[in-house]
């Protein structure tokens, strides 16, 4: 899991640090164009199965990404991660 800002900076992550950093950096390139993503991201010698949704926090969009595991597990983690980010960052 990784939550990133609009510049691709990981704000919170859990799991392999390299994978989280790479997914955050790559999803920011896709993020401005779409609200959700479900597919495979490719990097130098790596491939990650990723689901992403954008959440709006006071006018700023955050990318919430679930990485690896089954599609069902990513869907559950994505929902939980988005709800958590909204709850924690709500003012």
- What are the sequence ranges of the domains in the chain? 2-89
pLDDT higher than threshold 90 for residue 58? no
Tell me the pTM: 0.88
Contact of 5 with 11, CB cutoff 8 Å: yes
Whole-number pLDDT of residue 68: 93
Contacts of 15 by beta carbon, 8 Å cutoff, 6+ apart: 1, 2, 67, 68
Contact of 62 with 27, CB cutoff 8 Å: no
Whole-number pLDDT of residue 33: 79
What pLDDT digit, counting tens, does each position of 6-52 carry? Answer: 899 999 999 999 999 999 999 988 867 789 999 999 988 999 999 99
Q: Is 11 helix (H, G, I), strand (E, B) or coil?
A: strand
pLDDT higher than threshold 90 for residue 91? no
Write the CATH number of the domain with boundaries 2-89. 3.30.160
Whole-number pLDDT of residue 53: 94
């Amino acid at each position: 899991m990784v939550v990133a800002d609009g510049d691709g900076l990981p704000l919170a992550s859990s799991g392999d640090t390299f994978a989280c950093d790479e997914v955050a950096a790559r999803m920011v390139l896709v993020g401005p164009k779409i609200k959700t993503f479900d597919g495979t991201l490719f990097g130098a010698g790596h491939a990650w199965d990723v689901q992403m949704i954008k959440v709006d926090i006071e006018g700023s969009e955050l990318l919430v990404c679930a990485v690896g595991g089954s599609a069902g597990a990513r869907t559950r983690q994505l929902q939980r991660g988005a709800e958590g980010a909204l709850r924690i960052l709500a003012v």
